Every structure is written in C-alpha cells, then in structure tokens.
Chains A and B, each alone.
Chain A
C-alpha cells in the first residue's frame, strides 16, 4: 500500500459560505469567457415557444395538477431557499443529516414537461432492468463509527454478478450516494489479492437480518439469500450525506459491511429506525435465517480492516495529463 505522499489534499472548506454571499461579492476576477457573442437565435420552433411559457423560475405549478406526496410536503415546509451548502469536515459523525434538501430552485413546470416527454421517447433500458431494492447498512472504511442506511437498486447481469445504484433512502428525493458491485465467491477468488482488499463479505449482514428486501416476503427470497450470503461487494460512496454534505464533495470513500465484531456492529438505533419504517424485525429475521449456511470460507483478504485495523482513503493528486490536444 502506498504511504501518504505529498498530495493535493482536497478537503472541504472549514468555513461556511452562503451562496448569497458568494454571489454578492464584487467580481474582482474576470473569468475568461469562452463563449463568443452568440449569433441571433434562429426562429424558434413552435414547441419551444410553447415550453417557454412553463419556464417560470419562481413558481412551481406542479401542485396545481398533481397531488402532493408527503415527501414534497416536507420539502415545501423547509423551503428551497439556499442556506449554507458545504459541510465542515469535523461534522459530528453517525448523524444522518439527510433531511436538509439539496440546494437549488424547485423544478419548473417546463422542466417537468420536458422530462416527461424525454422519458416517453427514450428507451431507458438499463433502468428498466433494475429489479430489486435492498436495504442494508454500511460504514466508512476509514471510520467505522460512521454508519449509514443504504438503499441498493440492483440489476443482475448474470448469476455471478450484480450492480447496484446506491441511494440514501427509497423516497423520490433520495440522493444517489454511490455504486456497489456484488460478485459470487467464485469470481472473487479469481481477483488479485490487492484487488480483494477493496471488497467486503456479505455473510454476516445477511444472517444478522440487516440485509432486507423491503416488502418482499421472506419465504420468497430464502433461496436467493443463501446465494447472496456467499458474495462479496465493492462499494464506493460519492456523496457523504451523513456528515451533512449537501452536495457531493471530495473523493469517493471506500465502504465496508457490518461484521460480527464489535467495531462493525450497526448501532441499534439505526437498525431500530429502519425496522420501524419497514415493519420488519432484524432480530426475527436473524432467527429465521439460522438455516442459511455460513460460507465454508470467507477469504481473509476481504474486510481488510479485520486483519490490520487499517482503512483506506482516496486522494486526488495533480499530475501531468497525457494529451493529444490542448486542455482545457
């Protein structure tokens, strides 16, 4: 493993800057403007004229036509006024601060109309093949006290490989917080050892009843859970919502899975909150999953922290770009 070298350490700014302050500051820099003066716009297509009536920057007319969801009611109560958007790097850990809305203006009616049109016209095939929702927990490999509830939306590519878009909740305002890949033990054993160290095992979190397919009867998924208990996952988190980041900042974090070790036990209050939301009992599932066989062997290269009590961090370093044309 590389030791810490001189890096362009990209840390979150320790001081908060509100967007309003940023915009109000006198512009002492002139940014090179790459756009030349645009030619006069061509005559606008009738559709564009029609849509432009709906691009009202202030008012969201959607509620006049569509019923509110509970999620949207909460968002409107908090308002969309932008407040401080950057989290300090020493935000208390273990707090799920995902209630603060993502900064920005609410969707205009025009954008919603365009979205609906685009969705109608486009195939969206990879998205239609997302067929499973899994709720479980994960922790940061460099700080196991920071534990998050995760919502995986899973596509199976074959019997040995799954790919997951990971969100911080299952509501429509959920934030895309990362990607996890899941492979069978057969595939995992063929990986080089230095690659295996980036992966984690799933046996414990399944048998402990932490891994749940919300709304799917347990009977239906028993056979599949037996297979999944033997898999390994690799999870990169790109948005640290739990520390209060209101936008995705910094480099991706490597995540690890719950294990039967005190350090990697999920905090009871997190499990309880999740169980209440989905009317499940992790304890009950643990008992019913007793018959799921433990894998004969869990590769010791996975769950790297268990061997050496070290985690991994990603740094982003400046370097020479290999190029065949000027940049930028």
Chain B
C-alpha cells in the first residue's frame, strides 16, 4: 500500500472554513446532488500496466446510457480529485468514430471478476446496478499521479485503462482492498457469472486497440493569429 503524502499547504483557517460552510448551505449544487453512486475499481496507465491506481468513482447518470464520474484516490473528506471517467453504453460506443474508440476501455472483466464494486451496498442491489455496467465502455483521464507520490497534480492528463483479464491486478492491491472493505472478489465473481458483457463482444478497437497510448504536449499557434489586433492591452 503506498503511503499518502500530504497536499502541501497551511491548514484551512477558521474564517475560510466558516465561509465555506455558509456557502455550502446557501448555494445550489444541482449537478453534485445528482451524484448517487460510489464505485471502486482499479485503473492503470494506458502505456504502463505496472502502475495501478485504486480509483473511487462518484458517478451520476446523464441518462440510462451515460454516466459521468469524479475519481478520487480515497473515499473520504480528504480524498484528492485525481481524474474523471465517462461511461457509455455499447450502443453509444459503437457510434463513436473509429479513431475515438481506442481511448475507451471495456468494463466486462472488471465487473465479472468482482474487482469493480459498490462499497457499502449489499450484493443483490449492486448486482442489479452492475448488470447495466458490464456491457459499457469507459474513458478515463487522471490528472494527478498519486501513485508516483506527486503531492500536487503535475504534468499532463494521463489516459487510463482498466483490467481486462486475470493476472493483471497485483495480488497485494487486491488483498488490501478486500480486507479494507470486507469483500471477496472470488465469491462475488461467482455471483456475477450470469452477467453478460457487450452484446457484440468487446470491440477490437477498444482498450487502446491492444496498444499503449501516451499523452504528449505540443506547442501550437494560438488563435486568433493576428497578434497585433489581439494583444492590445485594455
């Protein structure tokens, strides 16, 4: 289990904390109030399977076929927001352009192996919810490489992938999660054997089309190009 460095900075001042408690009570948080589901799973970097990250997804439905998730490194008040994931049905995935598909990963193995689970939710309830997840595809970017020990979100967004077969997840990570959440992947996997993945099978272009994918930064012209007109200080 990796240790957790503190985010650098002074403790929150009382005045600041009081103000934010007040704003929390006054303001509208409609998009946040729609977040209804906590899923725990593992991601690894799309170019490095050996770097695996425990990921706590807090998800809301845009509709029956699409979820959007905030990803935290821990499910507690000090959890660091490390990334986002979008989950779409097979129907929506199949309509994506072919050049987009490799950025998305399948969820079938994660669900059927028991590794993706809903902490705190009884088995029958979460299995019903997971029936709609097994056939979906996800697109995940992480912005904060906590597994490297980064105290701050440095560098570029990282495309992430998820588990697709046995033998990928480190035993130590699996055992640690099972112990902390009081679950057993093997038992849950047996309970989920009936679930079906994508109707058309896992698309060959998904999961990076089997290749590693890495983000790179490129300096580019900044529109508009007419700098004389654009640079006038107001």
Q: Is A103 an interface residue (CB 8 A)?
A: yes
* A35, A153, A260, A263 interface centre (most CB from chain B within 10 Å): A35
Q: Is A248 an interface residue (CB 8 A)?
A: yes
Q: Is A97 an interface residue (CB 8 A)?
A: no
Q: Which residues of A contact B68 (CB under 8 A)?
A: 175-176
Q: Which residues of B contact A265 (CB under 8 A)?
A: 234
Contact status of A34 and B108, CB under 8 A, knowing A45-B124, A118-B37, A321-B46: yes
Q: Is B86 an interface residue (CB 8 A)?
A: yes
With beta carbons under 8 angstroms apart, the residue of B152, B197, B223 that contacts A34 is B197
Contact yes or no, A213 B27, CB < 8 A: yes
Nearest Cβ in chain B — how far from A92, in angstroms? Answer: 13
Q: Which residues of A contact B36 (CB under 8 A)?
A: 115-116, 118-119
Q: Is B186 an interface residue (CB 8 A)?
A: no
Contact yes or no, A262 B217, CB < 8 A: no
Contact yes or no, B32 A106, CB < 8 A: no
Contact with A along B131-159 (1 / 0, CB 8 A): 01000000101011000000011111101
Contact yes or no, A325 B8, CB < 8 A: no
Contact status of A318 and B9, CB under 8 A, knowing A13-B97, A143-B223, A325-B167: no
Contact status of A247 and B92, CB under 8 A, knowing A309-B222, A317-B213: yes
Contact status of A114 and B129, CB under 8 A, knowing A85-B92, A105-B64, A326-B165: yes
Distance, CA A154 to CA B160, complexed state (A) = 24
Q: Which residues of A contact B83 (CB under 8 A)?
A: 179
Q: Which residues of B contact A249 (CB under 8 A)?
A: 96-97, 100
Q: Which residues of A contact B4 (CB under 8 A)?
A: none
Distance, CA A185 to CA B80, complexed state (A) = 20
Distance, CA A118 to CA B126, complexed state (A) = 8
Q: From DSSP, what is the main secondary structure of chain A's interface residues?
A: loop
Distance, CA A178 to CA B27, complexed state (A) = 21
Contact yes or no, A143 B222, CB < 8 A: yes
Q: Which residues of B contact A171 (CB under 8 A)?
A: 30-31
Distance, CA A251 to CA B149, complexed state (A) = 24
Contact yes or no, A7 B37, CB < 8 A: no
Contact with B along A80-99 (1 / 0, CB 8 A): 10100110000000000000
Nearest Cβ in chain A — how far from B211, in angstroms? Answer: 5
Nearest Cβ in chain A — how far from B39, in angstroms? Answer: 9
Q: Which residues of A contact B102 (CB under 8 A)?
A: 10
Q: Is B81 an interface residue (CB 8 A)?
A: yes
Q: Which residues of B contact A23 (CB under 8 A)?
A: 91, 94
With beta carbons under 8 angstroms apart, the residue of B66, B88, B231 that contacts A261 is B231
Contact yes or no, B217 A312, CB < 8 A: yes
Q: Which residues of B contact A153 (CB under 8 A)?
A: 29, 31-32
Contact yes or no, A247 B86, CB < 8 A: yes
Nearest Cβ in chain B — how far from A249, in angstroms? Answer: 6
Q: Which residues of B contact A324 (CB under 8 A)?
A: 49-50, 168
Distance, CA A34 to CA B108, complexed state (A) = 9
Q: Which residues of A contact B49 (CB under 8 A)?
A: 321-325, 327
Q: For chain A residues 253-310, which have a beta carbon within 8 Å of chain B?
A: 260-263, 265, 305, 309-310
For A192, give the chain B residue with the smallest CB separation. Answer: B154
Contact yes or no, A262 B233, CB < 8 A: yes
Q: Is B187 an interface residue (CB 8 A)?
A: no
* B102, B153, B155, B203 interface centre (most CB from chain A within 10 Å): B153
Q: For chain A residues 106-159, which have a beta carbon within 8 Å of chain B?
A: 106-108, 110-111, 114-119, 121-133, 141-145, 151, 153, 155-159
Distance, CA A325 to CA B37, complexed state (A) = 31
Contact yes or no, B216 A317, CB < 8 A: yes
Contact yes or no, A130 B75, CB < 8 A: no
Q: Which residues of A contact B66 (CB under 8 A)?
A: 102-104, 247
Nearest Cβ in chain B — how far from A219, in angstroms? Answer: 11
Contact yes or no, A104 B37, CB < 8 A: no
With beta carbons under 8 angstroms apart, the residue of A12, A121, A305 that contacts B97 is A12
Contact status of A133 and B152, CB under 8 A, knowing A118-B38, A248-B86, A261-B231: no
Contact with A along B212-234 (1 / 0, CB 8 A): 11111111111110010111111
Q: Which residues of A contact B224 (CB under 8 A)?
A: 144-145, 263
Contact yes or no, A314 B31, CB < 8 A: no
Distance, CA A132 to CA B124, complexed state (A) = 36
For B33, give the chain A residue with the smallest CB separation. Answer: A172
Contact yes or no, A161 B201, CB < 8 A: no
Contact status of A314 and B132, CB under 8 A, knowing A39-B194, A132-B24: no
Q: Is A183 an interface residue (CB 8 A)?
A: yes
Contact status of A126 and B63, CB under 8 A, knowing A1-B219, A172-B34, A311-B220: no
Distance, CA A13 to CA B23, complexed state (A) = 43
Q: Please name 5 further chain A to chain B contacts, defined as beta carbons within 8 Å, in addition to the given A107-B61, A126-B75, sorted by A numbering.
A: A33-B201, A111-B132, A114-B129, A220-B23, A318-B212
- 21 residue pairs A–B, Cβ–Cβ below 8 Å: A34-B108, A35-B197, A86-B95, A102-B66, A103-B92, A104-B88, A118-B126, A121-B125, A122-B38, A126-B58, A141-B222, A160-B9, A161-B7, A165-B70, A169-B31, A172-B34, A223-B15, A223-B19, A314-B218, A322-B212, A327-B208
Closest 5 A-B residue pairs measured CB to CB?
Answer: A160-B9, A104-B65, A321-B212, A13-B97, A33-B201
